[in-house]
Amino acid sequence: EVQLVESGGGLVQPGGSLRLSCAASGFTFSSSWMSWVRQAPGKGLEWVANIKQDGSEKYYVDSVKGRFTISRDNAKNSLYLEMNSLRAEDTAVYYCARCIFGRSAGYFDYWGQGTLVTVSS
């Protein structure tokens, strides 16, 4: 059974930093693109970042470029999101998701339950 379990969310002040983690199991993590997708309270879904299997390619939504860094540790089956210079508009539930990505596919097939990040003073 595929499992994605996020952790690391919490309350942080504007300008602060936070590191999210996602522990993966039930599939070959090292063979999968992985993603972070967020959802602000009462709002829709927003893709945040993607990382290739070996970490050699990373993509970000414009609003987080230069502030967030996605990374992975295939030996630990773990995905990370380092978030710096946090703003109130970064407040959201952050989901870890597996991304099926290739020449003829670009979607998220498994999702974690999410971790809430609140940016407030």
Q: How far is the CB of 74 from another protein (least distance, A)?
A: 22
Based on the shown chain and the rule CB under 8 A, indicate whether residue 56 belongs to the binding site for another protein: no
Q: Choose which of 9, 27, 47, 78 interacts with another protein (CB under 8 A).
A: 47
Number of residues that bind another protein (CB under 8 A): 24
Based on the shown chain and the rule CB under 8 A, indicate whether residue 50 belongs to the binding site for another protein: yes
Among 54, 51, 48, which residue's Cα sits nearest to residue 68? 48
Q: How far apart are the first and last CA of the chain?
A: 40
Q: Choose which of 12, 64, 81, 114 interacts with another protein (CB under 8 A).
A: 114
Based on the shown chain and the rule CB under 8 A, indicate whether residue 44 belongs to the binding site for another protein: yes
40-49 long-range Cβ contacts below 8 angstroms, 24+ apart: 40/89, 40/91, 40/92, 41/91, 41/92, 41/93, 43/92, 46/92, 48/81, 48/94, 49/81
Based on the shown chain and the rule CB under 8 A, indicate whether residue 115 belongs to the binding site for another protein: no
Residue type, 13: Q
Q: Choose which of 27, 46, 69, 116 interacts with another protein (CB under 8 A).
A: 46
* DSSP states of 70-86: EEEEGGGTEEEEEE-S-
SS3 for 106? strand
Q: How far is the CB of 75 from another protein (least distance, A)?
A: 26
User: Contact residues for another protein (CB under 8 A)?
Assistant: 35, 37, 44-47, 50, 59, 61, 95, 100-101, 103-114
